[in-house]
Amino acid sequence: MIAVRDLVKAYDGVPALDGVSLTVPDGEFVVLAGPNGSGKTTLVRQFNGLLEPDAGDVLVNGTPVQDDLVAARTAVGMVFQHPRDQFVAATVREEVAFGPRNLGLPNDEIDARVADALDAVGLDGRGEDRVAALSGGEQERLAIAGALAMRPAHLVLDEPFTGLDAPAQAAVRDRLAALNAAGTSVVVVTHDLRDVADLADRVVVLRDGTIAADGDYESVHERLPDLGVRQP
Amino acid sequence: MTDLGLSYVPGDTVVHRLDARTKLLAQFVVALLAFTWSDSLALPVVWAVVLGAMALARVQPRSVLTGYALPFVLLAIATLTRALALGPPWVDVDAGLAATLHSLRVAAILLASAVYVQTTPVSETQAAISRLVPGKPGQFLAAGTSFVLRFLPVLLADLQSARAAQQARLGDQRRLHERMQTVALAGLNRTFERADRFSLALKARCFAWNPTPPRMSFTRADWFVSLGFAGLLAAATLA
């Protein structure tokens, strides 16, 4: 479980998060919505210690994130908004193996994880392809595979549908649904609920650094336009 | 990542299959011979070795020219600058010839490095350096090299897109120094932004100074090639 308590974060004195508290239980599919600049990315980057809060606590499986960053980053897989930002290798296989190699796992285990992760995102058999040669949708799925190879309990995706055409969006959605059904909790950051509303167990809306709505889709959908979120 | 001559290109050629340590040794020997072997045979031999390696590795000359466009242009400018004089007889043949030979030496080394980079995954380079240089200095050098090899293609792609964006808005109609200024400033900004995002991506996946090295094996082909380059070095020393 990811637990956030009274989180405060500011950039050069400008508040980005102002007392946010939130829990993401294991296995839940959460959509974190809100207009641009509402603090969504700032919030999720604290789930695995990529950002440090000014005040408040972030716990992953009961342990404060900053006490064990490797455990936090293993438990919380992160897919960045622009997948190209996270690619560090020239080939698909090398890219997915990067995280497990950093964990010091044996090569057999790394091979197994790479195969499983590529299979989970529908890129099996593409290990020797060049990353640069993949389409936008395939790059998004590769970024997910790179995170999955760490075997995270939670997968956080920042605007995963941006710039994808309809078939690519559908492919990514299908993979996320399958991963969630297999027990991985999924947090999708978006400003457009049309992408994932039907998959969400819960919708959390951030506005001006605070939680403006939190509940299942039916309970929050009427307020969404006022909160700057596009409805399905 | 981008499709330039400065990143790994998957393949199954004999050069791809060589151990990274063999290829590092070969590069070292080529560089040493290019600059220290003074015999008239030196350059032809070095170039024959490099072109042979390019052919065996199926390295596309165009990708190398793209990847190393800037150094090649600088070499050409340096050679011309040395060959041309500001007064009669206007052309200094001896100086030009000497500069050409120096440029050919540097170009051979650049091509050899292109063969290495295009046939060797970064993780194998990192592992090879860690094994060749023991202890913390080896880890530091290996990780530093892997940073450069991972980051440089990304950076060059950013510079290319900055230049393309400039051209799309008729920036190429401006004077040269204005164009250079615009691309340089945009490039510098992007470099810092990209470095931040790159660092974040490494941290998100638990960057380690001593990751699991990939499987590496020193085969008979590696012994054969290594002995060949050692023999070449010995022959040049004795010549």
What is the predicted ipTM?
0.81
Mean pLDDT of B43-61: 94
Q: Cα separations (Å) of B137 from A104, B132, B161?
A: 19, 11, 36
B217 shares contact with chain A (CB less than 8 Å): no
Cβ–Cβ pairs < 8 A, chains A and B: 105
What are the tens digits of pLDDT across the range A203-222?
999 999 999 999 998 888 88
**Gap between the Cα atoms of A35 and A14, Å rounded:** 17
Find tokens 């890219």 and name the residue: A95
Determine whether the interchain pair B205/A85 forms a contact, defined as Cβ–Cβ distance below 8 Å: no
Helices B122-132, B135-168: axis angle to 10 degrees equals 150
- Alpha-carbon gap, residue B125 to B123, rounded angstroms: 5
Give me the pLDDT at residue B91, please.
Answer: 82
The residue type of B28 is F
Beta bridge partners of A187: A30, A156
A132 close to B (CB below 8 A):
yes
- How does pLDDT run across B12-25, given as a tens digit for each residue? 999 999 999 999 99
Q: At a CB cut-off of 8 Å and minimum separation 6, what does B173 contact?
A: none
> B2 pLDDT exceeds 60?
no
Tens digit of pLDDT for each residue in B81-104? 888 877 778 888 888 888 899 999
For the segment B62-85, the average pLDDT, to the nearest whole number, is 88
* Burial of B43: CB neighbours in 10 Å, binned 0-12, 13-18, 19+: middle
DSSP state of A190: E
Residue pair B15/B27 in contact (Cβ under 8 Å)? The answer is no
- pLDDT above 90 covers what percent of chain B? 43
Set of chain B residues whose Cβ sits within 8 Å of the Cβ of A117:
none
Residue B5, pLDDT score: 64
Burial of B177 from C-beta contacts in 10 A (0-12 / 13-18 / 19+): exposed
Residue B165 reports pLDDT greater than 90: no
pLDDT-derived band at A134, boundaries 50, 70, 90:
very high
| pLDDT confidence band for B1 (50 / 70 / 90) | very low
Residue A34 near residue A17, CB atoms below 8 Å: no
Q: Which residue has the higher pLDDT, B45 or B150?
A: B45
Q: Tell whether the model's pLDDT for residue A12 goes beyond 50.
A: yes
User: 3-class SS at B135?
Assistant: helix
pLDDT of B4 above 60 = no
**Nearest CB to A102; choose among B122, B207, B214:** B207
Q: Is A194 on the interface with B (CB under 8 A)?
A: no
Using CA atoms in the order B22, B28, B34, B37, what is the torsion angle rounded to 10 degrees? -100
Model confidence pLDDT, tens digit, residues A141-177: 999 999 999 999 999 999 998 878 888 888 889 989 9
B72 CA: distance to closest CA in chain A (Å):
24
Tens digits of per-residue pLDDT, A65-75?
999 999 999 99
More confident residue, B66 or A103: A103
**d(CA B78, nearest CA chain A) in Å:** 33
Chain A residue with CA closest to B143: the answer is: A102
Chain A within 8 Å of B3 (Cβ-Cβ)? yes
User: Among A37-41, B101-105, B166-170, B192-196, whose mean pLDDT is lowest?
Assistant: B166-170
**Stretch B69-73: mean pLDDT:** 88
Q: Residue A56 corresponds to which tokens in the numbers above?
A: 């408040």
Backbone angles phi, psi at A203, to 5 degrees: -120, 125
Which has more pLDDT, B35 or A30? A30
3-state secondary structure A112-165: HHHHHHHHHCCCCCCCCCEHHHCCHHHHHHHHHHHHHCCCCCEEEEECCCCCCC
What is the predicted pLDDT for the residue at A17?
96
As a whole number, the mean pLDDT across chain A is 92
